[in-house]
Amino acid sequence: MNARGLLKVKMLLSIVTASALIVLSACGGTVSESSQTTQKPAAVKPKEKTKLKVLGFGSWFKEGMDAVLKDASEKMGIELEIEKVPEGDDGVKLVRTRFATKDLPDILLWSAGLTESQNLGIPSETFVSQDDQPWISNFDKNSWKGAMDSEDGLFYGAPYGGMNSAVVLYNKKVFEGLELQVPKTLEEFWSVSEKIKKSGKIPVYLSGKDSWTLQLPPFMAQARPGLSEFFKKVNVNQAKLSDWSDQKRGLVFIQDVIAKGYVNKEFLSDSYDNAQKALADGDAGMYLMATWVMADISKKYPDKVNDIGAFIMPFEGNGADRVGLFAPNSMYIVKGKNQDAAQQFVNYFESIDTQNIYFANEGGIPAIKGVTVTKLTPAEIEAQKLIDSGRASAVYSISKYAWDSDFGSLTQGLAAGGKSPEQVQESIWNTFVKNAKSKDDPNFK
Amino acid sequence: MLRKQYYRYTMFLPGFAVFCLFFVLPSFGSFFYGFTNLDSGFTFTRFVGFENFINLMREPDNFIAFKNTLIFAFLTTFFKVGLGLLLAIFVNLKLKTTLYLRSMLFFPVILSTIAVSLAFTAMLHPERGILNEFLRWVHMDFLAQSWLTNREIVMYSVSMVEIWKYTGLSVILFLAALQSIPKEVTESAQLDGATGWKSLRHITFPLLLPVFNTSIVLHLIGGLKVFDLIIALTGGGPGNASMVINTLIYKSFTQGRNGEATAASFILFLLVLFIVLMVNRLLPKHETER
Amino acid sequence: MRSWRKLILEVIAVIISSIIAIPLYITVINSFKNQAEAADLGLAFPTYWRLIENYKEVFIIAKIPQALGNSSILTFLGVIAIIFCCSTSAYIIQRRDNRFFRIVQKMLIAGMVLPISIITTYYLLDTLHLVRTHIGVTLIYMATCYSFITYLYISFFHGIPREMDEAAIIDGIGHHGLFWKVIFPLLKPINATALIIAFMEIWNDFTVPFYLLNTANRFTLSLTVYFFFGQHASEWNLVFADIVMVSLPIIVFYLFLQRYIVSGLTAGAVKG
């Protein structure tokens, strides 16, 4: 009966591969030092009960939003009717179908930096600009330019949830036990790995069963200040993704770390879950991941969360390396009869009080300044310090066409030994060009 | 004419009309997009003729996907139908334990693919998986494999899981057919001295033939269109070692080239239809036909 | 049968049963563990049996009662429509067996091969104002299951001799009476099989409710698995608990129907 049951499970399974990718594919931006702005809480007035329709990806509604919804219902008299779509392409497809047939919600939750190319209509016609709203004074617009705004330079999205960062998570007990220092150069990284290996533990854990996790090393390597400049050229066919030397460093790293024998023996069969356990238990010393994994670790191994720290992967050394940043997701107000009520909710949501409620219940690094209550783990706090010191850069830049939809399986092919870094990059560039050509882009004739 | 009066079109039509309107029409209609440059927002700007089809032919991954699909479909069909038939006859013996087995056989069909893939991923883990642990325990270490990450054997491992999951479906089809064989037929055959194998060969098999053929067709279609299990177990990996045609289609969709993906599913449709109709023609004709 | 042969067969049955049972066991046992233990997906017993906790949590988060209601309505309507339409169609197709119906049979095979196209289906239902209605969804289920189930019925009708029809006709029965009073009662095994397959198809399906029914209060059980998987992707204990809960009604239904599939109720029916 699989004769018929294909499509359904296909959708179910796109989640397996894509649930983390949806977070990954959010466009990031560069965060400079955070300038302190004065706190201006939005005017909050209870009104008669309004019902707002919200459309968003299922996994985006967790403890933080639950707490906010409760509070909103009590204080604001606003009820949200939430419609959840699944992560990945099927959810995206569903939302696009809705917008194409004018079946619109009042608030859309979507990745940051919504542009026309995402096929949800022209932003200025469909969504309400947030530039004049009170909440934005607590938001560092300049740092997020080019990542959270649209093509017309206006900000349509209000941050929803926290940012995430790609770092090396390491077990402090393992490092202390072997008297190891956090490595600052690649040579130091290899010598640290050698010592961990000699002690009988796994230096670097790779979770190749979940192929998306293998993208993190190249993501960290590509987080460099020049990224958006590079992509401006790529978008008009003046530079090639196959010449992307920053990313290549990360791909070569995967090859090297396997060749040197510094990884777990069955790195193609071990999963994201296995990695969390190995890192928390101290069976593995390091894991190249993003800070979102800390939410899982603190749930599963609450007594071991404090053993885990974070440092920047030293591909180049000399302070050239960066924490890879993933922008927070965003809330977009859809133009229509409920837009005022929706705006009221967004202003309430972005107020410091509400943000405190949100982040008291859910992990992630707030993008709104002045949030005092958070639930950050030590590893996230260390990552936040690195971000605050200006040593962070976006993992992604606005790309005109998709290139990374099968980057996970390509990096898995690399790890399995079937592909070289050059072939992986050739492949993503071919994908980009193919997509450009199918859109009749004149630069790609 | 007796027949026409008793077998009226009005009885046939309601179901068939719904089938045509709500399934054939929209599904077939969508193939039109295969000739456009449809994007992920479901808009297209021009007709591209056969460009999508030509691009697909150029894809180097296609050969391995095509090969894997055929291996998977024929291998799993052979075992699902063969084992299904044996098991149906076996559980029909009405022993104490076969009663449990009969109930048990259908559970894998019911269980969601997610659960199946998670369980098998754990069981087939090269270090900690129960299968290799068992093989080491009986000192057959040489048989212990990296079941899902060895490029050479990954397709066979995936096939094994598919066989595990869907053999139960053949079993209940055969069981239902076995019940429709009137007891008189087998009894009178026994009186004529046909017992055991003879009775199976000359009485039971011919009567099971229609269901046997149906079963082959169903499983072939299922096998050629396989997608869910592959994505869940291996994601087409390692690298592209377990790619099948449907994972290629999926890849085009995820990259936003919906026109190309539709063209690919049109090719798959024609291919599967061709294979199935060919096989259907080769199958022995129904002997019960009067 | 000699007793040693019987014993061997019994042993074989036990071995096959256990091969089938291990993955099922993994699913169930892990639904009783805590998150950290379930992450291993192992065979070991949980250190603490969360017999109720996980299920209770899933029951609340996934809003099981509401989803159960929706699933039941859709499945009930769909299954009835499918059994009714497919058995009648198949009967005519098999009995008349002329050139037209041979083409229809080829169409049925094509129908099993054809992938469902959600986008065009959505537009069609939208045009007919049937989006997000139970009727619309039922019609889609009927249409998507039609080829498969009808095909099954046809193969079964080959085994019901035409002499039965003729005997009944001689007794002076009408064409509706012939099918519903004489033929349909003979279909018990295949009806049970079709019923369980259609039930499972609709119960487990989430493509159709997802795209064509999806509103906040129209969740089905299969959608809860889907969302649970996305939202609690590493809480395998809860995912498994949800899967067990969703599968349970089908298992009960199957165990109940099983006796119609195997108990040989048609024996002796030839006499009419």
CA distances to B43, B104, B215 from B168, in Å:
43, 9, 12
Question: Tell me, what amino acid is at C105?
Answer: Q
* Alpha helices (H) in chain B, listed in sequence order: 2-6, 9-19, 25-29, 51-58, 62-91, 96-110, 113-123, 130-137, 154-179, 183-191, 196-199, 205-224, 228-233, 245-254, 258-282
Tell me which of B94-108, B120-134, B264-278, C211-225 is least confident. C211-225
Residues in chain A: 445
CA distances to A35, A111, A138, A139, A146 from A131, in Å:
18, 18, 12, 10, 15
Q: What is the pLDDT of residue A14?
A: 37
- Measured between CB atoms, which of B114, B125, B255 is closest to A405? B255
- Measured between CB atoms, which of C17, C19, C26 is closest to B100? C17
Q: What is the pLDDT of residue A388?
A: 81
pLDDT tens readout for residues C95-151: 988 899 999 999 999 999 888 887 788 888 888 988 888 899 999 999 999 999 999
- How many helices and strands (H and E) does chain C possess? 13, 0
Q: What is the pLDDT of residue B195?
A: 66
Tell me which of A116-125, A250-259, C95-104 is least confident. A116-125
Contacts of A68 (CB under 8 A, 6+ apart): A349, A354, A357, A358
Residues 239-258 of B with CB under 8 A from C: none
Distance CA C21, CA B197 (A): 30
Which residues in C lie closer than 8 A to residue B16 (C-beta atoms)? 89, 104, 146
- Measured between CB atoms, which of B14, B97, B207 is closest to C159? B207
Q: What is the pLDDT of residue A405?
A: 77
Distance CA A230, CA C107 (A): 53
pLDDT tens readout for residues C56-92: 988 888 888 888 999 999 999 999 999 999 999 999 9
Q: How far is C216 from chain B (nearest CA, A)?
A: 23
Q: What is the pLDDT of residue A39?
A: 40
Q: Return the residue in B132, B145, B146, B149 with the most chain A beta carbons within 10 A, the one to mutate for interface testing.
A: B149
Span A176-180, average pLDDT: 95
pLDDT tens readout for residues C141-198: 999 999 999 998 998 888 888 888 888 888 888 878 888 888 898 888 889 889 998 9
Q: How far is A346 from chain B (nearest CA, A)?
A: 27
Is the minimum CB–CB distance between B271 and chain C shorter than 8 Å? no
Which residues in A lie closer than 8 A to residue C115 (C-beta atoms)? 6-7
Q: What is the pLDDT of residue B72?
A: 96
Cβ–Cβ below 8 Å for C41 and B119: yes
Please list, residue by residue across B15-38, b when 16 or more beta carbons sit within 10 angstroms of its beta carbon and e when fewer do: bbebbbebbbbbbbebbebbbbbb
Distance CA A433, CA A431 (A): 6
Helix (H) or strand (E) holding A129: none
Is the minimum CB–CB distance between A297 and chain C shorter than 8 Å? no
Q: What is the pLDDT of residue B194?
A: 64
| CA dihedral of A288, A290, A292, A297, whole degrees rounded to 10 | 20
- Measured between CB atoms, which of C116, C225, C230 is closest to A19? C230
Whether pLDDT at A30 is above 50: no
Band of pLDDT at residue A184, cut at 50, 70 and 90: very high
pTM of this structure:
0.82
Span A26-48, average pLDDT: 38
Which residues in C lie closer than 8 A to residue B119 (C-beta atoms)? 22-23, 26-27, 41
Q: What is the pLDDT of residue B2?
A: 55
Distance CA A208, CA A346 (A): 39
pLDDT tens readout for residues B84-126: 999 998 888 877 788 888 888 999 998 888 788 888 988 999 9
- Measured between CB atoms, which of B39, B46, B260 is closest to A119? B39
Cβ–Cβ below 8 Å for C251 and B110: yes
Whether pLDDT at B219 is above 90: yes
Is the minimum CB–CB distance between A83 and chain C shorter than 8 Å? yes
Helix (H) or strand (E) holding C135: helix C134-157
Span C195-220, average pLDDT: 81
DSSP state letters, B23-75? IIHHHHHGGGGGGBT--TTS----B-TTHHHHHHHH-TTHHHHHHHHHHHHHH
Q: What is the pLDDT of residue C214?
A: 67
- Measured between CB atoms, which of A209, A402, A440 is closest to B255? A402
Which residues in B lie closer than 8 A to residue C121 (C-beta atoms)? 22, 26-27
Band of pLDDT at residue A43, cut at 50, 70 and 90: very low
Is the minimum CB–CB distance between B260 and chain A shorter than 8 Å? yes
Q: How many of the other CB atoms lie within 10 Å of CB of C29? A: 19
- Measured between CB atoms, which of A6, A16, A273 is closest to C39? A273
Span A362-380, average pLDDT: 87
Span A262-277, average pLDDT: 93
Is the minimum CB–CB distance between C17 and chain A shorter than 8 Å? no
Is the minimum CB–CB distance between B149 and chain A shorter than 8 Å? yes
Whether pLDDT at A143 is above 70: no
Span A244-273, average pLDDT: 95
Cβ–Cβ below 8 Å for A413 and B237: yes
pLDDT tens readout for residues B36-71: 887 766 677 788 888 888 888 877 777 888 899 999
Is the minimum CB–CB distance between C225 and chain A shorter than 8 Å? yes
Residue of C nearest to B33 (CA): C120
User: Which is higher by pLDDT, C264 or C111?
Assistant: C111
CA distances to A424, B84, C217 from A210, in Å:
18, 34, 33
Q: What is the pLDDT of residue C79?
A: 95
Contacts of B219 (CB under 8 A, 6+ apart): A3, B76, B77, B80, B81, B166, B170
> What does the longest C-alpha to C-alpha distance in chain C come to?
71
Q: What is the pLDDT of residue A254?
A: 97
Tell me which of A355-359, C217-221, C266-270 is least confident. C266-270
Q: How far is B23 from chain C (nearest CA, A)?
A: 5
Distance CA A2, CA A9 (A): 10
Distance CA A76, CA A46 (A): 4
Tell me the pairing of strands A202-205 and A50-57: unpaired
Distance CA A5, CA A3 (A): 6
Q: What is the pLDDT of residue B54?
A: 85
- What is the overall mean pLDDT for chain A? 84
Tell me which of A224-238, A327-341, B32-46, C160-174 is least confident. B32-46
Q: What is the pLDDT of residue C263?
A: 57
Roughly what angle, to the nearest 10 degrees, separates helices C64-96 and B9-19?
A: 130
pLDDT tens readout for residues A93-102: 778 878 877 8
